[in-house]
Amino acid sequence: MTRYPVEKYIELENNPYFLGRITVNQVSAQFHAEVDIIHRESHKIFKHVEMIYNENSEQEALITGVQRLRTFLEAIERSTGEGP
């Protein structure tokens, strides 16, 4: 049995100071995910990206979280030509 919350970390290309973090929680039969960009060393939140609600499984919540993080980072790159 999985104990929640579950945190998954994502390396950010070309950025040694930050990580992407997807935190998945189970509430009743549904799964929610919090998407953040955090400082690599302190793990403090640099930017809260989005909350995702009512996914049917932990895997779906995680996949949706990764997609939202990617979409956010691509939008930042297009608007500034840089990372977070």
Considering the entire predicted model, what is its pTM? 0.89
Give the C-alpha separation, 42 to 64, whole Å.
25
Q: How confident is the model at residue 13 (pLDDT cuts 50, 70, 90)?
A: confident
The shares of helix, strand and coil residues in the chain, as percent rounded to the nearest 5, are 25, 45, 30
Nearest to 8 by CA among 23, 27, 19, 18: 23
Share of the chain above pLDDT 90, in %: 83
